[in-house]
Structure 1
Amino acid sequence: MTSTVLARKYRPHGFEAMVGQEHVVQALRNALMQGRLHHAYLFTGTRGVGKTTVSRILAKALNCVGPQGDGGITAEPCGVCQACRDIDAGRFVDYVELDAASNRGVEEISQLLEQAVYKPVAGRFKVYMIDEVHMLSTTAFNAMLKTLEEPPDYLKFVLATTDPQKVPVTVLSRCLQFNLRPMPPDTVQAHLARVLDAEQIPYDGASLRLLGRAARGSMRDALSLTDQAIAFGCGRLDEPVVRQMIGAVDRQHITELLDAVAQADGAAVVRGVAGLRRAGISASGTLEELATALQTMAVWQLAPGAADGDQPDEAAWRDLAARFAPDETQLFYSLCLQARAELALAPDEYGALQMTLLRVLAFRPGGLPAQPGGGDPPPKAPGSGARRIAPEPAAPSADSQPVATLRATPRPEASPPPWVDAGPMSEPEPVSEPVREPLAAPHLASQTAHPTVATAAAVVAHPAPSSPLGDAWAALVRDMVQAGLIGALVRETAMQSHCTAHEVQAGVSHWQLCVARESLCTDAHRERLEHAMTQALGQPVRLSLVKGEASDTPALREQAERARRQAAAEQLIQEDVTVRKLLSTYPGARIVPDSIRPL
C-alpha cells in the first residue's frame, strides 16, 4: 500500500489555496478578471515556493469552462470541468510542460515551436510551460525569441527559473516577471498545522517551529521534512524527535555557551565545545543557532515591544539579554556570521567554533571582561601598554579631599602649531542636545587681497569651556583612550560627560558625571567606565551618572580646539605673502571655500 506524499497531496489547485505569495496571486487575479492577459509570464524564486503550481493554476484559469461547460476565463477555476481535471492530472493536450534542464538544445525548442502554428485542440489557449528556463542554450533562446515576442493569440508562454540572472535580457524584456518570495517560518508553520490537522496527526508547536526554520522558505521542503518526521516519530511529531532528525542544536547548549560568555568563563566555553564534539552536533549549526539567539536578544534589548512572546525559551533569552550590553550583542552576532564563512578554512570545525567563542571573550568592548565569580580582573603588569595616572594623595588631616586640590595631568608647555593634530582621539558624534555652535569660518570666496581675521576673532569671542574639574576629567579621558581602556559606547559616554563633583574619601575616589544622552546613562556603561577609571588611577573608584545638561565635556573641548586650529590655519593661509600676491595679480582668483584643512 502506498500513499501520496504531502507535497503532492496538498498542492494548491486554486489561487485561494496559495500560501505566502499574495502579491503574485493578486496581480494574476486582477489581470484575469479584467481580461488584460500578457502573452508571456516569467516566475522566479527559490525551489519549492510554487512556480509550477502557479503555472498550472493559470493554465486552468485560461481554459476552465465551468461545471456547466459554458464558462469563460476566470480567476477561480472550478476544478471539476474536463480541462481542470486534465491539467491537474497532467494529461491536457494543450498544456505542455518542458523541463529545460534535460531539453536544453535548439532541436527540442524548435520542435516545440513547430506545434505553435496549430490552434488548441481541446482548450481555449495553448500554454507552454518551460521549467528551469535558464538552462536553455544560447541558440535555443535565440530560436524562441521571435515567437516569444509575437505569439499567436491562442498561445501563452509561462517560464519558470530559480536563477533569473542567467536568462538573457532579450527574453526578460518580452515577459511579465513575478518574483515568488521565500516563505517566512511562521507562514510555513501555520500551513503545516493545517495539513497535520487534516491528516489527524498529533504534533506540538515546537516541532513545527523547527520544521519551519529548517525549510528555509520552501514549502515543498517543509512538507517533505514533515513526511520524514512522521515516519521517524512513528506517526507523531515531538520536538526532541524532530530535533534529532534534522540535527538541530538543542537550545540548552546555546544558553550554556552564552552563559559562559556572559561570565567570561573561558574554561566553561572550552568544555561546552568539547561537549558538542562528543554529541556530534554540527559546529555550523551551533553558529547558526548562536546568531539566531543573539538576534532575539538584540530585539529584547532595543525593541522589547516587538519581541516574539510565543517562543518557548523567551525567559532564557530575556535573562541573557539583560546580561549583555547592546554593543556586545551586535559584536558577537557579527563574529558568529563571519565564523560561519571561515569554517571551511579551518583544519577542525570544532576548533574554529572554540576560537570564535574565545575571540568573543577577547574582543569584548569596554576593556577587560569581568572574571568568573565576580572578582576584580588581575592588574596589568608594568609596561603592558596601559598608562596609569598617578593617584591623588588624600589630605592628611581630613577624610575627604576638597575639589580645589584635584590635580590634572601636566600638559606640555609649548603648544603644537595649528597645522599639527593635537592627539589621537577621534572626533565624536555631536550630541542631540543644544551645544555650542561650531565657529564659523570666513567666506573666503569673497576675500580681497587683504583678508581679515574674522575667524580668529570668533574663536577668541567663543573660548572653549574651562573649569578645574573639566580640565582633570578631559585629561583622564584622554589618557584612558590612549591606553585603550575604553572603547565603543563606553568611550562615547566618557566623551559626552560633564564632571560635576569629585572627592576622595577613605582612599576611594568618588566621581559624579552629568550625561545629556539618556541612552548613555546606563548601569552597564557606568560599570565599565568605573572599571577603566580604577585601572587608570590605580585606586578604587566609585562613579555615579546623572542625566542633565552637559556643558563642559571632552567632546565640546575637542570641538573648540578643532575650530581654533582651523581658524589659525585659515589665517595663516590668508596672511601668506605668496597667496596675497596671487590674489592681487589675478583679479578672478579666489580661495575655494572649505578647502583649507589643518594638517
Structure 2
Amino acid sequence: GQGGITAHPCGVCQACVDIDAGRFVDYTELDAASNRGVDEVQALLEQAVYKPVQGRFKVFMIDEVHMLTNTAFNAMLKTLEEPPEYLKFVLATTDPQKVPVTVLSRCLQFNLRPMAPETVLEHLTQVLATEHVEADPQALRLLSRAARGSMRDALSLTDQAIAFGNGVLREAGVRQMLGSADRGHVFGLIDALARSDGRTIVETSEALRRDGIAAASTLEEMTAVLQAMAVLQAVPSRAAAAVSGDADPDAVETARLAAAMPADETQLLYSLCLHGRGELGLAPDEYAALTMVLLRLLAFKPAGTRTTEAAVSVEPEKKTPRHDQRLMSNTAAVRPVPVDREDAEAPAAGADFDAAGHAPTAHDIAASRPMASAASTALPSSAPTAPPFVSRATAPHGHRLPVRETPAPVADTAHADAGEPLDDLPPAGHVLAVSVRVQPPPRGREAPPRDRSAVDAGDAVRRVAGAGLSGATVASQPIEPSETGDFWHATVTRMVVAEAITALARELALQSQLVARDAERWLLRVERESLNQPSSRDRLQSALAGLGHAVTVAIEIGGITDSPARRNKLAAEARQRAAEEAIHNDPEVQSMMRDWDAKIVPGSLRPA
C-alpha cells in the first residue's frame, strides 16, 4: 500500500483495492495440486527477476506446496536460499511433514490454529447475508462444526448445502447432507442412559439404522454433548450464560442433562464413546457395534448412579435394629484374656499335618475352629478415649501401640461362618487401620495381661484385608464330621496322591459328597451338572476298583455339606492361620517390627 508496513491494511488505497479485487499484478498464486512439475515452478521463478510494478514487494503464493515433486523443490532451493529483497514466498500446506527438510530450513514457519466454530459461524452468517441466502442458524452451526476449523472447507460445504437445499439452508437438509445424527436422538440416548432405560437405547439405535445415520456420527455427536456437559458441571456459572441470548438452542437441553447426570458418570460415558468409535471398524455391522457401545455405557455405569429402587430396599435392611443388637451382643461378649507365649504358639503346632502328607479329618478341622471364631469376634465400637498421640517412650516395656483419635470399626465376621454375605464388613480402608502388635517382655518379667479377643480380631482383620476383599467368602462353611465323610476324604486323597484320577474325574471326586454306600453301589452328590459326565464317572469307578472297591458309582445333583475339596480348603486355612500366628509371635520378627518399623506385607505369608 501507500502507507507503512502494517498488519492492518487500510482497505482504501489502490493496492488494497486491487488485492481485494484479485487484479494486483505483483501477486502471483500457484496451485501446487495441479501445477506440481518442475516446468511450472521454473516459469514462476522466471518472473522473480522483475521488480514489483505497483506494490512494495512481489509476492509468490504456492498453495498445497507439499504436492510439488522433488525436482520442483530442488529448482526452488537456490531462490529460496538467496531471494531478492523485493520477493516474498508464501508457502501454504496442510501437511508440513511432506515438505523436504531443505525447504523447511529456509523458511519461517507460522502454525495456523484451527478456527473456532463460533468464528466460522459468524463469517458464514455474514457471507450468506451479503448473498441474500436464507439459512437457519442451526444449519449454519452444523456447517461450522463440520468444517473442523477450516474456513475453506466451511465455504465449500456451504456451497454444497445451498445446492442440496435448492438455494435455502435448512437444518434437516444440511443434517441429511452431512449424514450427522439428529441432536434429538443424541439427547434421547443420553437421557436414557441417565435413567438406565435399556429399552429406549435399543429402540433409538434401531431408529438410527432405519434412517441411515452413520454410527460414527452418532458417537461423535454424543462425545460433543458429553464434553459440553462436563464443562457445565465443572463450571456451573457457565450454565446460565449458555442458555441466555442467542445461544445454541441445544444448550438448554445440554444444561438439563448436565444437572441430571453425575460428573463421574459423564466422564465415564465420554471415555467409552471416545474409545467406542475405534471399535466400529472392527465389527461386521457398525450398527450392532453402536448398540453394544451404548449397552456398555449402561452396564458400566457407576454403582451409585443406577436406579435407586434396589438401593432403597437394601439400605434400611443394613441398619435394622436387629443388626445393631447383634453388633452390641458380640461387643459385650469380648472379655480381656491374659495370653502368654505358650498359648499363642499352640495353634501353630496343632495345625501341622502328619508326615505322610494327609490332610486332617473333619474332627481335626472342627477342633481348630475356636481360634477362627475368636479371631472373628468384633472389637468394641467405642474404645476408651486415648490421646491423639502416644510417644514410644510412654509405652511400657517398649510396647508399640498404634493409637487413633477415632477407633476404626472392625467387621462382625463371626456370622460369616454361618454363611451370611460380606455386606456387614466395613471398607478395606477401615480394617487396615486396626492392628495391635505387642513385643513379648524380656525373660524373667511377667507379661502384662492382653485382650486376647482384640489381638485375634486384629489378626482376622489383617487376613481379610490382605485378601483384598476380592469377593470370596471370608470363612468356609463348617463341616459336620461323619464317618462316611472321613472315609470318602481318605479314599479320594489316596487316589489323588497315586494319580489314579486326573482332570475331570479328579474334579468330580473332590467336589462330591458320599451320600450312601453298600457293597455294590456308592451314591455321590454334586452341586454342578457339568461334573456329571459318563466318562468322568467311568474313570472314577475304575480308580475305585484299583483300590479294591469294585462298586457301581451313581451320581445325583443337589446341595452338599461335605466334600474333599471343602476339607482341603479348611485345612489350608488352618495352616495359614498357624503360619501367621507363628510369624506374628516370633521374637525376632517382633524385634524388627519394633526397632526398624518393619511391616509384614498382607498376603505374603505362605505356610511351608
**Smaller-chain TM-score bracket:** 0.5 to 0.7
Distance 1:311 1:497, change over 3 A: farther
The residue that corresponds to 1:405 in the other structure is 329
Of the three residues 354, 357, 362, the one matched with 2:291 is 354
In the TM superposition, what is the alpha-carbon distance from 1:132 to its structure 2 partner?
1.4
* Letter matched to residue 284 of structure 2: P
Q: Deviations over 1:390-415 (max 9, x none)?
A: 989965xxx9628633669x9xx999
Question: Is 1:337 aligned to 2:274, yes or no?
Answer: yes
Q: For 2:405 and 2:98, locate their aligned partners in 1 and report how far apart those are by CA, in whole Å.
A: 65
In the TM superposition, what is the alpha-carbon distance from 1:334 to its structure 2 partner?
0.8
Of the three residues 144, 168, 178, the one matched with 2:100 is 168
Q: Deviations over 1:420-464 (max 9, x none)?
A: xxxxxxxxxxxxxxxx99999xxxxxxxxxxxx99x99x966715
1:386-405 equivalences in 2 (<5 Å):
401=325, 404-405=328-329
Q: Deviations over 1:446-503 (max 9, x none)?
A: xxxxxxx99x99x966715387762239999xxxxx98999xxx989x869999xxxx
In the TM superposition, what is the alpha-carbon distance from 1:85 to its structure 2 partner?
5.0
Three-state SS of the structure 2 residue aligned to 1:179 is coil
Distance 1:362 1:485, change over 3 A: farther
Moved more, 344-353 or 171-180: 171-180
Distance 1:260 1:460, change over 3 A: farther
The residue that corresponds to 2:380 in the other structure is none
Of the three residues 210, 223, 230, the one matched with 2:155 is 223
In the TM superposition, what is the alpha-carbon distance from 1:291 to its structure 2 partner?
0.9
Q: Deviations over 1:293-321 (max 9, x none)?
A: 21122223222113422332344333333
1:93-492 equivalences in 2 (<5 Å):
93-307=25-239, 308-309=242-243, 310-366=247-303, 369-370=306-307, 374=309, 401=325, 404-405=328-329, 463-465=402-404, 470-472=409-411
Distance 1:317 1:77, change over 3 A: closer
In the TM superposition, what is the alpha-carbon distance from 1:182 to its structure 2 partner?
1.2
Q: For 1:400 and 1:255, locate their aligned partners in 2 and report how far apart those are by CA, in whole Å.
A: 45
Q: For 1:200 and 1:110, locate their aligned partners in 2 and report how far apart those are by CA, in whole Å.
A: 43
Distance 1:491 1:124, change over 3 A: farther
Distance 1:274 1:438, change over 3 A: farther
Distance 1:474 1:124, change over 3 A: farther
Maintained 8 Å contact 2:410/2:430: no
Q: Unpaired segments of 5 or more residues in structure 2?
A: 335-343, 349-386, 416-420, 435-470, 475-583
Q: For 2:64 and 2:412, locate their aligned partners in 1 and report how far apart those are by CA, in whole Å.
A: 67
Q: For 2:124 and 2:7, locate their aligned partners in 1 and report how far apart those are by CA, in whole Å.
A: 26
The residue that corresponds to 1:512 in the other structure is none
Maintained 8 Å contact 2:409/2:431: no
Q: For 1:173 and 1:193, locate their aligned partners in 2 and report how far apart those are by CA, in whole Å.
A: 40
Maintained 8 Å contact 1:269/1:357: yes
Distance 1:393 1:273, change over 3 A: closer
Q: For 1:211 and 1:267, locate their aligned partners in 2 and report how far apart those are by CA, in whole Å.
A: 32
Q: For 1:152 and 1:178, locate their aligned partners in 2 and report how far apart those are by CA, in whole Å.
A: 21
Distance 1:77 1:192, change over 3 A: same
Distance 1:243 1:402, change over 3 A: same
In the TM superposition, what is the alpha-carbon distance from 1:254 to its structure 2 partner?
1.6
Q: Deviations over 1:533-587 (max 9, x none)?
A: 9x99xxxxxxxxxxxxxxxxxxxxxxxxxxx9xxx999759999xxxxxxxxxxx
Q: CA RMSD in A?
A: 5.2
Three-state SS of the structure 2 residue aligned to 1:161 is coil
Q: For 2:263 and 2:189, locate their aligned partners in 1 and report how far apart those are by CA, in whole Å.
A: 18
Q: For 1:466 and 1:402, locate their aligned partners in 2 and report how far apart those are by CA, in whole Å.
A: 25
Distance 1:245 1:117, change over 3 A: closer
* Letter matched to residue 364 of structure 1: K
* Letter matched to residue 290 of structure 2: L
Distance 1:171 1:496, change over 3 A: farther
Q: For 1:252 and 1:323, locate their aligned partners in 2 and report how far apart those are by CA, in whole Å.
A: 17
Q: For 2:45 and 2:293, locate their aligned partners in 1 and report how far apart those are by CA, in whole Å.
A: 57
Q: For 2:21 and 2:424, locate their aligned partners in 1 and report how far apart those are by CA, in whole Å.
A: 71
Maintained 8 Å contact 1:368/1:377: no
Q: Deviations over 1:245-269 (max 9, x none)?
A: 4333222212222232223232322
Maintained 8 Å contact 2:65/2:99: yes
In the TM superposition, what is the alpha-carbon distance from 1:358 to its structure 2 partner?
0.9
Maintained 8 Å contact 1:366/1:485: no
Q: For 2:302 and 2:15, locate their aligned partners in 1 and report how far apart those are by CA, in whole Å.
A: 67
Maintained 8 Å contact 1:367/1:484: no
Distance 1:368 1:296, change over 3 A: closer
Maintained 8 Å contact 1:343/1:352: yes
Q: For 1:227 and 1:495, locate their aligned partners in 2 and report how far apart those are by CA, in whole Å.
A: 65
Q: For 1:474 and 1:208, locate their aligned partners in 2 and report how far apart those are by CA, in whole Å.
A: 65
Q: Deviations over 1:53-112 (max 9, x none)?
A: xxxxxxxxxxx34xxxxx565555455666545544555443222222333344443443
Distance 1:282 1:470, change over 3 A: same
Q: For 1:295 and 1:484, locate their aligned partners in 2 and report how far apart those are by CA, in whole Å.
A: 36
* Letter matched to residue 401 of structure 1: Q
Q: Deviations over 1:29-69 (max 9, x none)?
A: xxxxxxxxxxxxxxxxxxxxxxxxxxxxxxxxxxx34xxxx
* Letter matched to residue 302 of structure 2: P
The residue that corresponds to 1:552 in the other structure is none
Q: For 1:147 and 1:491, locate their aligned partners in 2 and report how far apart those are by CA, in whole Å.
A: 73
The residue that corresponds to 1:383 in the other structure is none
Three-state SS of the structure 2 residue aligned to 1:157 is strand
Maintained 8 Å contact 1:407/1:472: no
Q: Unpaired segments of 5 or more residues in structure 1?
A: 1-63, 66-70, 380-389, 417-435, 441-452, 477-481, 500-532, 537-563, 577-593
Moved more, 269-278 or 169-178: 169-178
Q: For 1:496 and 1:313, locate their aligned partners in 2 and report how far apart those are by CA, in whole Å.
A: 48
Maintained 8 Å contact 1:211/1:225: yes
| Number of residues of Structure 1 aligned to a counterpart in Structure 2 | 390
Larger CA Rg, structure 1 vs 2: 2
Maintained 8 Å contact 1:129/1:159: yes
In the TM superposition, what is the alpha-carbon distance from 1:354 to its structure 2 partner?
0.2
Maintained 8 Å contact 1:148/1:174: yes
Distance 1:118 1:569, change over 3 A: farther
The residue that corresponds to 2:493 in the other structure is none
Q: Deviations over 1:206-262 (max 9, x none)?
A: 233222212221223323333444444455444334333433322221222223222
